[in-house]
Amino acid sequence: MAVKIEQQIDSLTGLPNKEGLTTNVSLNVYDGEHVALGNCFISQHLSSATDRATTATDWSHDVVSNTTYKLNTWFKYHTSGSPYGSIAAPSASTNYVTFNSGAASGTPVTHGGIYQKLTGLIVGFEYRVSIRLQNYLTTGGTCSILSYYEVGDIYLKNTEESFVITSDPATTLPAMILTSEFTAQTPQDIILIDFTNSFQAGHEPSEEANTMSVQEISVKRKDEYLIPAQAADINDNFSTVYKSNIQNVSLEQVDDPEVPTA
């Protein structure tokens, strides 16, 4: 009895003779758009937006849980007193939104931002929030991207990611894009964009600016696709990469010419 290895790849067509030999690579694609007016910040869109002043220690939960929402609509907020400093709410002009913060050395920490309840999310899918800054403006401070979801009448924080923004060194150049991802818990999760800055000792206005300007906010679904892997030789000839699976063999009687038969 001899072992005969079956031919797995057809020598003429280059195609596999059996299933399961294809090598796949993962490709992430971000598609769709779930935030409204994400690149069209004109004064009308935010000047009339509902503004909430907060002095709550947990400022983000306070503003998110005390809002009567209109879907796909921006809302804004600002801290207005102890334990935080008081600032103006974000404003928009000429297709960008300006976030404010404390503007004097030694002032308390301030928070201000915008938030929106999304629609059409698929529970369990990942979504990427992208924020494009205006890179020609001097910017400093910390930008945070948060997501919340509602269970009954309770609002729960899903994710929170913060980015320290400075113009020297330019931590966000060259693209000036901040990104964060969250997994949708409901079809109508909430995203919140916050800007904070505190001019404490050692952090004078020359080092940190008191505004952050954003020209685009986007929320896209993350889809993963599997595509066949390809390899290129030095002549730029491409070939599909298949798995080696020589363990699948065929046991059959093979005559050996050097062994006499009875």
CATH number of the domain where residue 193 is located: 2.60.120
> What is the dihedral angle through the alpha carbons of 111, 112, 117, 120, rounded to the nearest 10 degrees?
-90
Structure tokens at 23: 């090598």
pLDDT given at position 167: 60
Give 211-233 pLDDT, tens digit per residue: 888 888 999 998 876 666 555 65
Confirm whether 96 is domain-assigned. yes
Q: What is the mean pLDDT of the chain?
A: 76
Lowest mean pLDDT among 64-68, 98-102, 152-156, 193-197: 98-102
Confirm whether 187 is domain-assigned. yes
Average pLDDT over residues 36-65: 84
Structure tokens at 116: 């929106």
The span from the CA of 173 to the CA of 25, in Å, is 30
The span from the CA of 202 to the CA of 112, in Å, is 23
Confirm whether 178 is domain-assigned. yes
What is the model's pTM? 0.73
The span from the CA of 29 to the CA of 222, in Å, is 6
Provide the residue range defining the domain that includes 75.
30-225
Peptide bond into 108 cis (omega under 30): no
Confirm if 112 and 89 have CB atoms less than 8 A apart.
Answer: yes
Confirm whether 82 is domain-assigned. yes
Confirm whether 37 is domain-assigned. yes
Name the domain count of the chain.
1
Confirm whether 76 is domain-assigned. yes
Confirm whether 128 is domain-assigned. yes
92-96, 136-140, 173-177 — most confident range: 92-96
Confirm whether 252 is domain-assigned. no
